[in-house]
Amino acid sequence: MRLSMSGPVVHLDSLQRFRDMLPVADWHKIQEQLLSCFPSMPNIPDPHRLMDVLKIKMSWPSMDFLTSLSACLKDDVVNKLAPITVQAITRWPIFTFLGGAMFCLLASSTCHLLCCHSERLSYIMLRLDYAGIAALISTSFYPPIYYSFMCYPFLCNLYLGFITVLGIATIVISLLPVFEKPKFRSFRASLFFGMGISGVAPVLHKLILFRDKPEAVQTTGYEILMGLFYGFGALIYAMRVPERWKPGKFDIAGHSHQLFHVLVVAGAYTHYLDGLVYLRWRDLEGC
């Protein structure tokens, strides 16, 4: 059961634990609001005495009391109580993204470490590297899609299903031996770039649904920045910039593959910050 407030979604069992936070509350700031909520209370000047009264009420909370409390507290007080009274939403989408990012970076590190061992092991490691890139791109979609459309199950499942199928298809294609030939270098970059650009649809849909929410605009800014990092990295990788301009000058440091990895890490970190905004938004507002 939950009570609707102007901000967070507050659950009955959380409000029943409200009394647990009374000893640590800043009563000098919220006493006036609490007294205005319950005019039948005596005008008690001592905050600790008011705390004792509320403890008694919260030990056997009635629906009238909970409704009054949820209806009259202002947003600033609600925000102070949010860590205790708000039920956190599920975290699995952002954990999925973090898992995909760690798998990608681990696969890439392993590939660079072992691919010089032999031709056979190099082939295997490169397949693992491509699978890690596809996993990172696919799982990057999970937090924004889930938290944007968690109140619209059909849209949520549609977008998540599409990117999951696309990611699996990309991994399968990358396992083909012909995929490794140098002439397909641009095709490989284009395939991963296409996966990333497909995220434009859910982002635009989110802006349409939540155009009045500042969090929607803020997360979109992060997602545009993330897309620029990933896209620019793929472009550099495909064009072999800057070593194509001065062959031999960037063999040790500064070549396209190194720049590609730097941009991928920057994009993943940007997406992590994006996920934190989604979590704060949905923790406070639910659906």
90-110 average pLDDT score: 95
Query: Is 255 annotated to bind ligand?
Result: no
Give pLDDT, residue 63: 44
Give pLDDT, residue 285: 85
- As a whole number of Å, the CA-based R_g of the chain is 26
The CA distance from 221 to 273, in Å, is 11
Could you give phi then psi for residue 8, rounded to 5 degrees?
-70, 165
**Which two tokens mark 117?**
């061992």
Q: Tell me the domain boundaries of the chain.
A: 9-85, 92-285
Query: Is 257 annotated to bind ligand?
Result: yes
**Which two tokens mark 263?**
């941009």
Q: How far are the Cα atoms of 6, 137, 193, 275 from residue 218, in angstroms, in the given order? A: 21, 21, 23, 11
Q: What is the DSSP string of 83-135?
A: HHHBPPPP-HHHHHHHHHHHHHHHHHHHHHHHTTS-HHHHHHHHHHHHHHHHH
Which of 25-34, 79-88, 118-127, 159-168 bottoms out in mean pLDDT, i.e. has the lowest? 79-88
Contact 5, 73 (CB under 8 A): yes
167-177 average pLDDT score: 82
The CA distance from 233 to 235, in Å, is 5
Residue 248 has pLDDT above 80, yes or no: yes
Query: Is 205 annotated to bind ligand?
Result: no
